[in-house]
Structure 1
Amino acid sequence: MEFLNQPIFGVGMTIIPYMIFVLLKQRVPMVNPFIFTTTLIILLLLTLDIPYDAYEEGGRIIEFMLAPATIALGVPIYKEAQRIKDNLVPILLGNTVGSLVGLVSAGLLVFILSGNQGLMFSMMPKSATTPISVEIVANLGGMPSLGATFTVLTGVFGSLFGPELLKKCGISENESIGAAMGTSSHGIGTARVVAQSEIQGSISAFSMGMTGIITSIMAIPLYLVF
């Protein structure tokens, strides 16, 4: 138990399986390191009856490193700055329409299924990156923890099925794929495309940031009305 309460336990339990699944993905493309690592951690905690607080000691270090990792997305944006400038209008238009559709479609889905207002507001900003989404949900009076769950699941599904769906729809341009992934599935989707194309990754990272800003602005009328 003393070892379980050391930060090295949570860090190792996260990084080692992730690196293994990254290597496995080179042989088996269908392997998603994020999902496989998350599932394995949950199974280990449940099977071995390890308290979540023990894992969280190391999890906080991983969480702390998310900030510089996010800032590092500025590197591909800088390297592809001219390409982004050349396509700025269509990218921003896609970000705006995508943000609006994400908000409205989520709200309509909850309304059609007779969900309550708290659930609706928890789900609507799911396409914004998690820190922004959680703040929007909290200010709207929703449930931040549920909002974070919806946001992460949106990123996971986008990462898993987004590129393939775009391909089946006949969308092959790097700019279009990057804008679509960054708008719909934020950081997790960006991590997927940045591994296969620096151009897609740069535009996806830019779109992720713009979607967070645009979604926040679009949520203002909701604050005023509700």
Structure 2
Amino acid sequence: MRELVESPVFLVALTLAAYRLGCWVRDVTRGHALAQPVLVAIVVTGAAILALDVDAAVYADGVQVISFWLGAATVALAVPLHRQASRLRGFVVPMLVAVPLGVVTSVVSVVLLARWTGADEELARTLSPKAATTPVSIALSGTVGGIPSLTAVLTIAVGVLGAVAGPAVLSLARITDRRARGLALGGVSHGIGASRALAEDQTEGAFAGLSMGLTALTTSLLLPLLLVLLL
């Protein structure tokens, strides 16, 4: 029995079933903000591996095939962007200004908040790359002296929170331009936010995917300099 529950086939099937359940919950609730498939999948899968006493490292090794295809799925976000390429007219300059400002705001605010609340420098460095997509944030965390595993958890948590609350916050702020909404969701919530944006609108999803990539690139370039200035 132990060999079965720790086998890659079972763990992959469990993960896919949990995500499919999340999609069903989203459809049944007519797209309720809390019914995000990724959030439901995390809760169900986490509860299952805890109940089955499966070690987290064993689970991670067993679902590497999913992690591999996530890279391809991220690249595939370029497809809707290509279809919406005409919408880039008049938006390139604002976008190239907004993305670096967003990265600076994200890093500076989280580092200052961490130090203000008494966190040590290592935790501040761990938190600093949270706006980048998970693989990039993990690599950056190790480079700047953070704790990569903790960075991964925080990055995913930020992504889920942004996907759940982001559209409502943008609506409250009366931001209706689909390009701007996508740029904000992709910059804050990376892949999970881009997925939510695609469910909302094709243009919004395309710009969320673009923002995710630009934010990861800009964070990689600016993070070391910002940490030198702040820490």
> Shorter-chain TM-score category?
over 0.9
Using the TM superposition, give the Cα deviation of residue 198 of structure 1 relative to its aligned residue in structure 2, in angstroms: 0.8
Could you tell me whether the CA contact under 8 Å between 2:162 and 2:185 is conserved in 1?
Answer: yes
What residue identity is the alignment partner of 1:94? A
Question: What residue number does 1:24 align with?
Answer: 25
- Between 1:195-204 and 1:76-85, the stretch displaced more is 76-85
Structure 1 outlier segments of 4+, above 6 Å: none
Question: What residue number does 1:105 align with?
Answer: 109
Q: How do residues 109-148 of structure 1 correspond to structure 2 at under 5 angstroms?
A: 109-148=113-152
Question: What residue number does 1:84 align with?
Answer: 88
Using the TM superposition, give the Cα deviation of residue 82 of structure 1 relative to its aligned residue in structure 2, in angstroms: 2.0
Against the structure 1 CA distance between its residues 134 and 57, is the aligned structure 2 distance closer, same or farther, given a 3 Å change threshold? closer
Against the structure 1 CA distance between its residues 194 and 133, is the aligned structure 2 distance closer, same or farther, given a 3 Å change threshold? same
Using the TM superposition, give the Cα deviation of residue 57 of structure 1 relative to its aligned residue in structure 2, in angstroms: 4.6
Question: What residue number does 2:222 align with?
Answer: 218
Q: Could you report, residue by residue, the CA deviation over 1:144-167 in whole angstroms, capped at 9, with x for unpaired residues? A: 111112211111110010000110
Question: What residue number does 1:3 align with?
Answer: 4
Against the structure 1 CA distance between its residues 51 and 110, is the aligned structure 2 distance closer, same or farther, given a 3 Å change threshold? closer
Could you tell me whether the CA contact under 8 Å between 1:122 and 1:137 is conserved in 2?
Answer: yes
Using the TM superposition, give the Cα deviation of residue 17 of structure 1 relative to its aligned residue in structure 2, in angstroms: 2.0
Please give the root-mean-square deviation of Cα atoms over the aligned residues, in Å: 1.7
Q: Does 1:15 align with 2:19?
A: no
| DSSP-derived class of the 1:96 partner | helix
Using the TM superposition, give the Cα deviation of residue 85 of structure 1 relative to its aligned residue in structure 2, in angstroms: 4.0
Q: Distance in 2 between matches of 1:146 and 1:55?
A: 17
Against the structure 1 CA distance between its residues 177 and 61, is the aligned structure 2 distance closer, same or farther, given a 3 Å change threshold? same
Q: Does 1:60 align with 2:64?
A: yes
Could you tell me whether the CA contact under 8 Å between 2:111 and 2:127 is conserved in 1?
Answer: yes
Percent identical:
31
| Number of residue-to-residue matches in the alignment | 226
Unaligned segments of structure 2, at least 5 residues:
none
Per the normalisation by structure 1, the TM-score is: 0.93
Q: Distance in 2 between matches of 1:118 and 1:19?
A: 38
Against the structure 1 CA distance between its residues 210 and 118, is the aligned structure 2 distance closer, same or farther, given a 3 Å change threshold? same
Could you tell me whether the CA contact under 8 Å between 2:108 and 2:226 is conserved in 1?
Answer: no
Against the structure 1 CA distance between its residues 165 and 6, is the aligned structure 2 distance closer, same or farther, given a 3 Å change threshold? same
Could you tell me whether the CA contact under 8 Å between 2:144 and 2:224 is conserved in 1?
Answer: no
Q: How do residues 143-162 of structure 1 correspond to structure 2 at under 5 angstroms?
A: 143-162=147-166
Q: Could you report, residue by residue, the CA deviation over 1:21-66 in whole angstroms, capped at 9, with x for unpaired residues? A: 2022112122121111111111111223234455345311111111
What residue identity is the alignment partner of 1:75? V
Q: How do residues 184-223 of structure 1 correspond to structure 2 at under 5 angstroms?
A: 184-222=188-226
Could you tell me whether the CA contact under 8 Å between 1:84 and 1:203 is conserved in 2?
Answer: no
